[in-house]
Amino acid sequence: MDLWFSEYHTKSVKYSIKVDKQLFSKKSDFQRIDIFYSKDLGNILTLDGYLMVTEKDEFVYHEMITHVALAVNPDIKNILVIGAGDGGTIRELTKYSIDSVENIDMVEIDEEVVKACLEYLPQTSHRLIDSRVKMFYEDGLKFVRKKKNEYDLIIIDSTDPFGPGEGLFTKEFYGNCYNALKENGILINQHESPFYDNDAKAVAKINKRLRHVFPVCLVYQAHIPSYPSGHWLFGFASKNLHPLNDLNAEIWNNLNIKTKYYNTDLHWGCFALPNYVKELLTDDE
Ligand code: SAM
């Protein structure tokens, strides 16, 4: 018998993976959590039937959501990570020595995701035990309301703009993130895919809201094969640092951080966007 996981990318386009084994399934207070094994993609995490992580291509997403900001500002010490229950973002951040990254507050709404990933996704979760990581099982939207002038970097590694992640794409939330950041603060968020019509609308909306709050607001791209269309965007927003003019390539390269996707040549290239994406980013909501 063949067992397949399918995710609809539009009503008439779907992405399917042959499931060799179902490793875990649970309904938490927030979402349904599943972990599958696929011969070609390794272990796969899905939430409410949406693909979050495959062991095969997670390195692209996790390297791109972290190193771009740290190559711009080597003085990032205090970091807030919102979502990120699989632990991949933390794994990348803990590649920096304790002299640079001193503290990481991680705010994940669903403890069950973390527990499942600790057991079935060690490839991404194995650094969650780092002593610099302080775990808060709370809604990120509420957590940032209390914070003022505290963080050098905020990374929003959330689910899509519906379900528990919806509030993490609002103007109110971005305004609170602005206040939670220090003067040289940077915000990086997962910015969805620009390709299919409904996703493109979400990209335009997210970007307009970010631009409303942050004086510096750019988008960069990566190729993530298991995500809708494979074309994925991240947002770089800050109070004053520019991702290209302020890049500290030499300092970052001297750190000798081992990566599989990110490098400082690619850093320049990933901000060069196709015309159809540029148009989306000037659209009004
Ligand atoms: N790489 C992923 C992607 O974009 O497909 C995101 C991965 S990570 C698993 C997303 C996490 O965000 C989930 O574990 C989810 O529980 C968490 N999350 C969703 N809404 C949240 C909220 N309001 N506050 C904190 N965490 C949230």
Q: Which atom of ligand 1 is nearest to the CA of 53?
A: 1
Answer yes or no: 86 catalytic.
no
> Is the four-CA dihedral 206, 51, 196, 198 of positive or negative sign?
negative
Least confident of 17-21, 109-113, 163-167, 190-194: 163-167
Q: What is the pTM for the complete model shown?
A: 0.97
Contacts of 150 (CB under 8 A, 6+ apart): 78, 80, 180, 181, 182
Ligand 1 mutation target, pool 32, 108, 137, 229, most atoms within 8 A of CB: 108
52 in contact with ligand 1, CB cutoff 6 A: yes
Q: What is the pLDDT of residues 36-49, one digit of tens each?
A: 999 999 999 999 99
d(CA 108, ligand 1 centre) in Å: 7
Q: Cα separation of 254 and 248, whole Å?
A: 10
Q: What is the pLDDT of residues 23-77, one digit of tens each?
A: 999 999 999 999 999 999 999 999 999 999 999 999 999 999 999 999 999 999 9
Q: Which tokens belong to 234?
A: 């991240």
Percent of the chain with pLDDT over 90: 95
Asked whether the predicted pLDDT for residue 284 surpasses 60, the reply is no
Asked whether the predicted pLDDT for residue 283 surpasses 70, the reply is no
Closest CA to 45 of 80, 82, 17, 8: 17
